[in-house]
Every structure is written in structure tokens, then in C-alpha cells.
Amino acid sequence: MSFFITNDNVKINFHDYGDKNNQALILIGGYSSSEVTWICQIDDFVAAGYRVITYDHRSHGDSQKVDFGMTLHRIATDLYELIEYLQLSDVVLIGHSMGAATIMAYEELFTDRNLSAVITEDQAPTFLKSKDWLDGKAGRTLETLGTFIDDFPKTRLTQKPLSDDIKRELGKGMKPFDFKRYRSLLQNVILQDWRAELTQEAIPHLFFAGSQSPIFPSSHAQAARDLQPNPDSEVQIFEGCGHILHLEDSKKFNQSVLHFLEKIK
């Protein structure tokens, strides 16, 4: 276990795997999760010749618990400072849920010039219902967002069963998360809209979605892809999966990531 200190004095936990001379993949978790959720990816990505970095957002996992800086843009700044601390360039960012939103906030603040590609997992660019998004047939109104936040800790995020080994590792590694204390973070995340930012993203982007996600309709992935100008960007839908594709179908997830990265080299 390693730590670095952010410019507002928060201790951030991270792990660094593989050859330090190889291209870096940073795996970015979702709201309430910890770096242990990437247990099925680390060995495969290292074996494929990548340097793999996992970390915990502030107030998540083994990172320091604080009551300040709990906004998406501050969390994106923490990611920027991790990249600077490790002196990385030509980075691939892989983000699940809020981790994907963190990538969009990172690009808004710092652009994508230090990145070679991004991969986002089951995260639409907007939560809000509007006539100009998916024909107004998806998303949530401002009036219903409070209910979504209240119900989130009880929401079953996976549809495919996880193996006993994965459950055991998650049980050992996951740390308690205070949903009430950090409710404002989720509220901040779901009020964002990254559609305009996607039109400015120049690098290849792989959009993943689960066909049975309880959070978003899978059609969000193609709609987001249509906003993004890079010709090498792609969409992949995981049939039968819910919201956590990298655990529900880890073999397919890993193969898809590696195939995409090989294709865009």
C-alpha cells in the first residue's frame, strides 16, 4: 500500500503494478467502491504488458476520510495529481460509473493531451431527462433525483452472479462507506452533463454499457459515441450484465479492453 498527499492535504491510497517502463492504465472506481473491485483486471493487464495503477478516491477505501473537496471536479483533480506524482504520460484511463464521470471532469479541467485513450463503463454523460437526450425517453427529472440518491445504497447493481472467489475477495477488501455522510458527492455527480465535453474529446474512447443496467438504458453508449469525433471510438454492450461489467463478465471485459488498445496503437 502506497500513499500520496494532495495539494489540500488528503492522503490518497494507490497501488502500482507491473513494469514502470510500460504504458500506464489507471483504473478508476465508482461512487462508494474501492480499488479492490479491480481484482479481476490487474493480472491480465500486467501480463499483456501494461503498468496498472489502482487507487481509492478521497473518503473511499483506504484513502483519508474528509468532509471537504467532495465534488467531482476535486476528485478529478486528485486523479491529475496522482498522474503528476507518478510522472506519467500517454496514459489510458478506465473508469467505472463515477470513475467514468471523473474522466470527463478531468478532461474538462486539464484536456486530454496527456492521455492516449479512455474507456468508460456504464456511465451516461447525463442523468437528466431532456428532449434532446435519447428522445426524452430516458433519464430522471430533478424531482426524482432525491429518491434515486436515497435508494442507491439498496440498489442491486449486478445482474450476473459473481463467483464465490470474487465475493470472498471483495468481502476481504471492501471498506465500509458512509452513504449519509457523503450523499452530497453523489448529488454533485448526477447533476453534471458531459455531452458538450464529449464533442471536444479528440482521443479514442471505448464506451461500455450493460444491457440490464439498473442505472442507465444501454442506448446511452451509442448516443454518447455519436457525440465523440474520433473515428476509432467504439461501443460495446454486455448482454445480460448490470452496472459492474468488469466483475460480472471480467473475461470479456479484459479481452475487450486489450483488443481495443491493441487496435488503436
Give the residue from 77, 93, 82, 97 showing the smallest Cα distance to 30: 97
Q: What type of residue sits at position 10?
A: V
* Mean pLDDT computed over 114-129: 96
CA distances from 10 to 7, 69, 110, 138 (A): 8, 9, 20, 37
Question: What's the pLDDT at 85?
Answer: 98
> Residue 123 — pLDDT band, cuts 50, 70, 90?
very high
Bridge partners (DSSP) of residue 210 are: 238
The alpha helices in the chain, defined as continuous H runs, are 42-47, 72-85, 98-110, 142-151, 164-173, 183-190, 195-198, 219-227, 245-248, 250-263
User: Is the predicted pLDDT of residue 148 greater than 90, yes or no?
Assistant: yes
Query: Domain 2-264, what architecture?
Result: 3-Layer(aba) Sandwich (3.40)
Question: What's the pLDDT at 138?
Answer: 85
pTM here is: 0.97
Q: What is the pLDDT of residues 154-195, one digit of tens each?
A: 999 999 999 999 999 999 889 999 999 999 999 999 999 999
Q: What is the pLDDT of residues 205-231, one digit of tens each?
A: 999 999 999 999 999 999 999 999 999
* Mean pLDDT computed over 248-255: 98
User: Is the predicted pLDDT of residue 1 greater than 80, yes or no?
Assistant: no
